[in-house]
Amino acid sequence: MAARTLFLVLAASLIGFAQPVQARTICTLVVDAKTGKTVAEQGDCATRVTPASTAKIAFAVMGYDAGFLKTEHDPTLPYKPGYVDWGGAAWRQPTDPVRWLKYSVVWFSQQVTHALGEMALHDYAAKLGYGNADFSGDPGKKNGLERAWIASSLKISPREQIAFLTKLVNRQLPVSTHAIDMTLNIVEKHPVQDGWTVHGKTGMAYPRKPDYTFDEDHPWGWFVGWAEKDGRVAVFARLVQDEKKMPGTAGNRTRDAMYAELPTLLRGM
């Protein structure tokens, strides 16, 4: 590992050590999207876990390519009684693709997955290189279209997230130009220090215990996406796991930490 990259990884680690031990960082990986050079790497970036709501980026690519999704605001789907609504009032409203990603609306994801079906989802994921491409769901439950990506059968590693995102931002995915354009447009963006703009998606899911109940004390938290500045583009993935039950969501805490740390990590580009 180059000296500068090692310095940046150590600096990022020290930022984490300065905080109370609340979450374990499983992986931080930052890659120059144009050259493929690793800018920073820390931890186990090869083990697959649930993608949780980061899968919405892949679902957007699939949904636009298949024609179920059309523009940033079409379709706008109504909330219906019986839809999952643990996200609160923000989920109990008509939702379009922009709102879907902004509020991470699970029932909208389920409309996309049901429209495409398990076989098409598998085929898309396989050709996109999206993890294990397994949409079967929980064993014996036949619930893959409802939750394969939420602590169930679909799994992906941080390194695979990076490979998928690199092809997305370089417009190299084997899908339509429209699907790539629309997906890039609807992923939320946020300015951070040093003039970088970060586009990304959070995710959180609880691990499953042997009896298939949820371990609510140790959720995974993801933040994946890309950052751009003056023609430079970096893709990133961070995966953490909480050490104890915490307020808020692990995904949002992971996002906020990356907003703070990315400008330092990206000085290696």
The residues annotated as belonging to the active site are 53
Q: What angle do CA 40, 179, 56 make, to 5 degrees?
A: 55
Give the residue among 174, 224, 216, 231 at the shortest CA–CA distance from 198.
224
DSSP 51: -
Round to whole Å and give the CA distance between 244 and 27. Answer: 18
* Backbone φ, ψ for residue 131 (5° rounding): 60, -140
Following DSSP, what letter does each residue of 103-126 receive, concatenated?
HT-HHHHHHHHHHH-HHHHHHHHH
The pair of structure tokens assigned to 33 is 């999207």
* Residue 212 neighbours by CB distance under 10 Å: 11
How far is the C-alpha of 229 from the C-alpha of 250, rounded, in Å? Answer: 27
Q: Which two tokens stand for residue 119?
A: 């076989």
Alpha-carbon torsion, ordered 251, 16, 39, 181, to 10 deg: 20
Query: Widest CA span of the chain, in angstroms?
Result: 56
